[in-house]
């Protein structure tokens, strides 16, 4: 592609099933909520630290939401949007990266009831 990333061709793609409609919306909301749930436990004064091990074996222990999201290997496109949300919050304000992701997850959690 234009960024130099290789194209990945999946074998037997015609056998794979694509989600549409309400199922796709719920799957996207679940992906975003899982990112928010990961960060929710690190929020606040009693927040827990997360231990992240990189592919090359480096260990990072932190409760900073921006660092956690930066080191996570996220594959789902909607979950990547949550990471981008955190990065844009950090770029514009410099703080509140965990809070904005947890807030977006809570809004989606309430919004799934409206589907």
Q: What is the pLDDT of residues 47-65, one digit of tens each?
A: 888 898 888 888 989 888 8
- Using CA atoms, how far apart are residues 36 and 106, in angstroms rounded to an integer? 8
Return the pLDDT at 70. Answer: 85
Residue 112: name the closest of 56, 42, 31 by CA.
31
Q: CB within 8 A of 60, min separation 6: which ones? A: 51, 52, 53, 54, 67, 71
Average pLDDT, the chain: 84
Q: CB–CB of 65/95 below 8 Å? A: no
Which residues, listed in sequence order, are joined to residue 50 by a DSSP beta bridge? 62
Q: CB–CB of 50/63 below 8 Å? A: yes
Q: CB within 8 A of 53, min separation 6: which ones? A: 59, 60
Return the pLDDT at 10. Answer: 63
- Burial degree of 46 (CB within 10 A; 0-12, 13-18, 19+): exposed
Return the pLDDT at 9. Answer: 67
45 or 3: whose pLDDT is higher?
45
């Amino acid at each position: 592609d234009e960024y130099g990333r290789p194209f990945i061709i999946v074998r037997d793609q015609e056998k794979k099933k694509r989600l549409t409609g309400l199922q796709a919306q719920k799957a996207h909301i679940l992906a975003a909520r899982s990112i928010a749930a990961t960060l929710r436990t690190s929020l606040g004064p009693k927040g827990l630290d997360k231990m992240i091990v990189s592919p090359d074996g480096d260990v990072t222990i932190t409760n900073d939401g921006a660092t956690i999201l930066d080191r996570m290997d996220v594959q789902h496109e909607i979950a990547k949007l949550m990471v981008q949300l955190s990065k844009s919050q950090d770029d514009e304000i410099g703080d509140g990266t965990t809070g904005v992701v947890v807030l977006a997850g809570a809004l989606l959690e309430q919004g799934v009831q409206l589907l």
